[in-house]
Amino acid sequence: MEAEKGKTAKYLKAKRPVPKAVTEHLKYFTRTKKALINALKEGEKTVPQLAEILALPADEVMYHLMSLLKYGFVETGEMDDMDEYFYYKVKDHGKDKS
Amino acid sequence: MPESIKTLEYDVLVIGGGIAGGESALNLADIGYKVLLVERDLTIGGKMILLSKVFPTLDCAACITTPKVSEIARHPNITIFTGAETEKVTKLGEHRFEAVIRQKPRYVNVSDCTGCQLCEEACPVSVSDQYQYGMVGRKAVYIPFSIASPRAAAIDIENCTLCGACERVCPTQCIDFTQTEERFLVKVKSVVVATGFELFDPLKIPRYGFGQYKNVITSMQMERQLAPTRPYNTILRPGDGKMPDNIAYVLCTGSRDKTVGNPICSQVCCMYSIKQAQLLMGALPMADITIYYLHIRAFGKGFNEFYAQAQDMGVEFVKGKVGKITEKENGNLILRYEDIEAGQVKEAEHDMVVLSVGVLPNRGISETFENQKLELDPFNFINQTDILASPAKTSIEGVFVAGTASGPMDIPDSILSGGAASAETTSYLRRAVS
Ligand SMILES: Cc1cc2nc3c(=O)[nH]c(=O)nc-3n(C[C@H](O)[C@H](O)[C@H](O)COP(=O)(O)OP(=O)(O)OC[C@H]3O[C@@H](n4cnc5c(N)ncnc54)[C@H](O)[C@@H]3O)c2cc1C
Ligand code: SF4
Ligand code: SF4
């Protein structure tokens, strides 16, 4: 029963399988994150621009983009000419190891 | 299988660690009583710790709450359980209560966690952040927010993939997935109930379109957008990230409304909306702010001046009852309302709408009292059985109520009520038991 310190996740995994919805959700987030970062690597963009490129609802783009801002993958740029939307850009190359 | 249960003894059990419960605990602890503060959430501080600035002084909420919360956390006479539920409370006799407290596993040893956030960085999972009212994500391992107390990580086991990344990077090895639920039998002489309030859920008024129209938000979401620990880089529409310049407030959302089962006034919505309008004028100097109201209730000290100040700043007040909200293709919203002074139905366009949601009772706690009934009032708040002579008194001798658990009120009144509860508890404890 003793679980080694620093490796206790395995211990719980044996007792409590991870629900499928949780892994599916992770996949979805990882996919959206990649798509957003790739689109921003090509140049800074606003939320409506990203929504169009990714063919996703703008509110969903907003939610994920703001999460990436919080996690340090993305940073805020200037405002557009109409003073309506901010541009966002990748930070530290989207934390790429490459 | 008989479960092991530890027995603990204190003078007073305080249930709920918002500003009211915190104030009661602090007063009692200062006199020398040993207090157990049981908080359901991962942090103490209640709703107040999440606010931006507070009316009518416009002091920063965090600047007032943080020192208070750390005083509570450091007090030698206060023990705090966070992430803990009260399963039941039984009165055995005067000055003799027994409570069963369930402590859910946090999967992090709080005393060893330094709050370094390396675990958060390593965690691949992102789910909706409840402390930002869903406007942004957070990791499956997370520190609730920067001024949380304790400022320690916790694991959201429901959304964790058990990949182990967090514990591999944790420098103090404080993440521990072997933790299990613990139960405690707590013997106390008296109980203070300070379980606060719930926010009205605007999904119950479908004609306002909340949930469906992404630029219709609640006042609590706007509070977060105005706070220094905001979810976005500035105040933006959740629907598409546009900076709003024409914001409407709909007062009394879910208050004074029999059709949603809440006939009473929430007491704080008028004032917090006026506060937010003033803060928005500061943050977005070009924006127009319109407040749709039925009556403005500005009865407290300095409140009327605060209201007048908002009018002077250019906030528009429209006496009108909003019937229906619809969305245009560009995300703007059309408010159809009855202009009460003109006696006409009118329409107005705004690019963001804030619903000033009301204060509802948090009903669950009364069911945890076993052999005596903790009575509720007609609106399902905890009944104050002697409201004029001893406002903290409840239907159970030795059980006192503090803050919004007894009805809607603002922060100054919640603190006063917490003070009253501690004073009445003290006098109960000092009364000789025959
Ligand atoms: C949008 C908004 C803005 C506001 N702005 C202002 C303002 O500017 N100025 C002002 O004066 N007031 C303001 N208020 C009102 C203010 O939030 C309340 O007056 C105050 O938070 C009440 O404190 P409380 O301790 O009674 O309740 P709460 O803050 O609700 O705290 C209750 C605590 O009890 C815990 N709890 C609940 N049930 C249990 C249980 N069963 N077991 C253990 N713990 C439990 C909760 O997790 C919580 O921590 C605002 C309110 C809202 C909604
Ligand atoms: S074990 Fe869970 S909390 Fe830890 S990093 Fe993996 S998903 Fe995140
Ligand atoms: S759990 Fe470990 S890695 Fe996470 S904040 Fe605490 S000390 Fe840092």
Non-local CB neighbours of B198 within 8 Å, separated by 6+ positions: B359, B360, B361, B362
Domain for residue A4, yes or no? no
CATH superfamily ID and name for B200-359? FAD/NAD(P)-binding domain (3.50.50.60)
Measured distance CA(B145)–CA(B48) in Å, rounded:
13
Asked if the structure places residue A36 within a domain, the reply is yes
Confidence of residue B256 (pLDDT cuts 50, 70, 90): confident
Token duo for residue B264: 């009473």
Asked if the Cβ–Cβ distance from A63 to B135 is below 8 Å, we say yes
Please tell me the total count of domains within chain A.
Answer: 1
Is B242 part of the contact surface with chain A (CB cutoff 8 Å)? yes
Would the CB of B415 count as within 6 Å of ligand 1? no
Find out whether the beta carbon of B51 lies less than 6 Å from any atom of ligand 1.
yes
Counting beta carbons within 10 angstroms of the beta carbon of residue A77, is it exposed (0 to 12), middle (13 to 18) or buried (19 or more)? middle
Question: Read out DSSP for A43-86?
Answer: S-B-HHHHHHHHT--HHHHHHHHHHHHHHTSEEEEEE-TTSSBE
Q: Which residues line ligand 2 (CB under 6 A)?
A: A 9; B 122-123, 125, 140-141, 155, 160-166
Percent of chain A with pLDDT over 70: 94
- CATH code that applies to domain B8-103+181-196+362-430: 3.50.50.60
As given in the structure block, the two tokens for residue B373 are 């009934």
Closest to B316 (Cα-Cα) out of B359, B358, B350: B350
Q: Is the CB of B170 under 6 A from ligand 3?
A: yes
Chain B (17-76) residues lying within 8 Å, Cβ to Cβ, of chain A:
none
Stated as kind and residue range, the H or E segment containing B253 is strand B246-253
B146 lines ligand 3 (CB under 6 A): no
Whether residue A97 is contained in a domain is answered as no
Tens digit of pLDDT for each residue in B105-122?
999 999 999 999 999 999
B163 reaches A (C-beta below 8 A): yes
Q: Which domain holds residue A45?
A: 20-90
What distance in Å separates the CA atoms of residue B129 and residue A75, rounded to the nearest whole number?
Answer: 20
What does the alpha-carbon distance between residue B319 and residue B298 come to, in Å, rounded to a whole number?
A: 15
Reply yes or no: is the peptide bond before residue B150 cis, omega within 30 of 0: yes
| The token pair that represents B287 in the structure block | 């924006």
B210 DSSP assignment: B
Minimum-distance ligand 2 atom for the alpha carbon of A26 = 7
The tens digit of pLDDT for each residue in B154-210 reads 999 999 999 999 999 999 999 999 999 999 999 999 999 999 999 999 999 999 999
Domain ranges of chain B: 8-103+181-196+362-430, 105-180, 200-359
pLDDT digits (tens, 9 = 90+) for B321-332: 999 999 999 999
* Identical fold, B8-103+181-196+362-430 and B200-359: yes
Fill in the amino acid letter for B38.
Answer: V
Query: What per-residue string of b and e applies to B382-402 under the rule 16 or more CB within 10 Å gives b?
Result: bbbbeeeebbbbbbbebbbbb
Q: What is the CATH number of the domain that holds A67?
A: 1.10.10.10
Residue A10 lies in a domain: no
Q: Does the model's pTM come out above 0.90?
A: yes
Residues in chain A: 98
